[in-house]
Structure 1
């Protein structure tokens, strides 16, 4: 069933990742995309889906960022779906944890992770972004963010009346209860669908990832949840967002502020 303009079908790809091996990951995800038999509007991949959460970006050839972007464009056209995920990207001598929102026609928008993960030293290896991204796509306003951004409610605050908060992540098992709780909180406080796509498996430095990719509606009700390696397809309805916001006008009372960098 195709989307009608009031709904989006989103494929969440919860997957293992090959460590610092972009070509292997591209091939793996190409194979996974072949398993998506129905029409979907957006395919979401984990954070740093072409390498895993590496703190050695110099191990990745500079050209790999552009190669993976071209692959995303090819896949978006092939599947007639937007492709979303972050990768290691080098530009002007600096590395970024850069998310690409690639549309089916090949156009794309980017977001550089604002909150680099200091506990792992990401702030020492990657330059932080300064601008938030809100994408208009098929009648929905979508704010895509990356992993550690989830812990910062001010950065995630719904000041543009977007419909979906979308987090792509490598969130480890030892703090997975925080992931679960914060996704639900972001949905409730912003009156949005909150979607989080996490990886699974154990990486080369010993961090284990349990998945827990999930979707919460604007009331914080869990609509979908997964712990195993799989592609799960969910449908989100803009009418549900509108109805909840009309009945419960909590956003009218939100604090007004200007975010200073």
Structure 2
């Protein structure tokens, strides 16, 4: 019933996917967890140029599948993908230990960074089922939009990968905890460390419980966080304090 989750807060060398994969694999291998989460665009840096995207099932996605099979744990992280028709997606893969993959295409594209001009947004929420848990996948900027991430009784935890710049670190820390509180869910939020050209990342990856309390938090460098999510504690809290029953109804429209 419990789930052990690790966040690998990595650095990403600009436009060096081979080197970034080589540096990330030991962190994945060492993480003693059922689920390992890597940052947004961990293999390329936050590069929205079309040349940075790989074809569907490309080398980064293939590496995630290989690691899941080799180390016997689920792995999540986002990859720049170019679909067969040329459409670009910021795609968060969730790869099971069997190598089977599901994915979520980032809905809210970061307009100030040029992502919205280059990439196409996703249109569907993705809740994956894994080891008895229901996990909502989000990517970075999605955290700013509570309607999209609102729990409708359909998930137990949010898994978010990000490349969130240091100047907005206060917003990151606040939003991660706000999403946990308002949805009465666990949150695993991994941010990256290091820098891209002109952008510095603060890290601040965090594992937060359904009360909004921090169970593990990173600093600014390369680091792995691990925590165990307790299913019985989550269900007991939701039963004892059923704020979810008083949530307002709504309908999403394009």
TM-score bracket, normalised by the shorter chain, equals over 0.9
* 1:163 is the counterpart of 2:156: yes
Cα distance in 2, alignment partners of residues 188 and 59 from structure 1? 36
What is the TM-score normalised by the length of structure 2? Answer: 0.96
* 1:208 is the counterpart of 2:200: yes
Query: Are the counterparts in 2 of residues 8 and 235 from structure 1 also a CA contact under 8 Å?
Result: yes
Aligned to 1:3: none
Cα distance in 2, alignment partners of residues 74 and 87 from structure 1? 15
Which of residues 72, 76, 79 is equivalent to 1:87?
79
Deviating above 6 A after TM superposition, structure 1's stretches of 4 or more consecutive aligned residues are none
Which of residues 7, 14, 18 is equivalent to 1:19?
14
Query: Are the counterparts in 2 of residues 46 and 198 from structure 1 also a CA contact under 8 Å?
Result: yes
1:137–1:34 CA distance, 2 compared to 1 (3 A): closer
Query: Are the counterparts in 2 of residues 65 and 87 from structure 1 also a CA contact under 8 Å?
Result: no
Length, aligned pairs only: 252
Query: Are the counterparts in 2 of residues 22 and 64 from structure 1 also a CA contact under 8 Å?
Result: no
Cα distance in 2, alignment partners of residues 28 and 217 from structure 1? 29
Cα distance in 1, alignment partners of residues 118 and 26 from structure 2? 31
Aligned to 1:32: 27
In the TM superposition, residue 57 of structure 1 has moved relative to its aligned partner by 2.7
Aligned to 2:40: 47
Cα distance in 1, alignment partners of residues 73 and 26 from structure 2? 16
Q: CA-to-partner distance for each residue in 1:211-254, whole Å, 9 max, x for gaps?
A: 10001111111111011311111111111110110000100011
What is the TM-score normalised by the length of structure 1? Answer: 0.93
Cα distance in 1, alignment partners of residues 48 and 59 from structure 2? 20
RMSD: 1.3
**3-state SS of the aligned residue for 1:153?**
coil
Which deviates more from structure 2 when the two are superposed, residues 62-71 or residues 157-166? 62-71
* 1:69 is the counterpart of 2:64: no
Which of residues 95, 100, 104 is equivalent to 1:107?
100
Cα distance in 1, alignment partners of residues 201 and 241 from structure 2? 36
In the TM superposition, residue 18 of structure 1 has moved relative to its aligned partner by 1.4
Aligned to 2:136: 143
In the TM superposition, residue 122 of structure 1 has moved relative to its aligned partner by 0.5
**3-state SS of the aligned residue for 2:169?**
helix
**3-state SS of the aligned residue for 1:155?**
coil
